[in-house]
Amino acid sequence: EVQLVVSGGDSVQAGGSLRLSCTISGLSVDDLTIAWYREFPGKDPEGVACTGKIYDHTWYFDSVKGRATISVDSAKNTVYLQMNSLKSEDTALYYCAADRYWGRACQSSIGDYKKVDYWGQGTQVTVSS
């Protein structure tokens, strides 16, 4: 059974930082493309960032570019999303997702969230101004 366990959400002040973690069991992170999504109330999930270690490619949504870094720790089978200079508009429920078949250009697939293979539970990020 494949599981994605997400942690790291918190309430922070604007300008602060958080690191979200997504620990995977049942499959090697090196065999997956990983994406972080966030969901605003009443909206569809929005792709924030994605990476596939085997492709050595990373993509970021424009609104987080320069403030977010996605990284992979193969030894821990864990993917991180470091977010700095947080803004109130970053407040959302954040999810980790993984897919076995996305190509190198993960940004081409990230919008089709309904077809993603695996999802972790959400973690709430609240940024107060």
Residue 1: DSSP 8-state: -
Q: What is the pLDDT of residue 48?
A: 97
Is the confidence at residue 56, as pLDDT, over 90? no
Query: Percentage of the chain with pLDDT > 90?
Result: 91
- Mean pLDDT (the chain) is 95
How many angstroms separate the CA atoms of 26 and 118, rounded? 11
Q: What is the per-residue pLDDT across 85-119, written as a single tens digit (0 to 9) for each?
A: 999 999 999 999 999 999 888 999 999 999 999 99
